[in-house]
């Protein structure tokens, strides 16, 4: 993705299949809540986009998704 540098805001456009499988309900809720909202792009790890965000309680989360699931905010 051009123009995608660490620290840039991106939008998680949808949830990748299986992303929530096996996660605690609190984590599932936090991830579902950020779909369509700006979050921070950290970089690429093994071809996956690393994303960071904070939930409504202030807890930090990191997820990795295929770049096709994000767009620049």
CA 62 to chain centroid: 7
CA 33 to chain centroid: 11
pLDDT confidence of residue 7: 96
- Tens digit of each residue's pLDDT (9 = 90 or more) over 21-42: 999 999 999 999 999 999 999 9
pLDDT confidence of residue 51: 98
Angle in degrees, CA 49, 55, 58, rounded to 5: 120
CA dist., res. 33 & res. 3, Å (int): 25
Of 9, 11, 32, the residue nearest 20 (C-alpha): 32
> CB of 56 within 8 A of CB of 68?
no
Per-residue pLDDT band for 2 (boundaries 50, 70, 90) equals low
pLDDT at 1 over 80: no
pTM here is 0.91
């Amino acid at each position: 993705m051009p123009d995608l540098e660490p620290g840039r805001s991106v939008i998680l456009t949808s949830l990748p299949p299986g992303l929530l499988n096996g996660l605690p309900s609190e984590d599932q809720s936090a991830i579902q809540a950020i779909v369509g909202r700006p979050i921070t792009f950290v970089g690429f790890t093994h071809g996956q986009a690393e994303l960071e965000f904070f939930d409504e309680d202030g807890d930090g989360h990191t997820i990795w998704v295929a770049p096709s699931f994000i767009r620049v905010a």
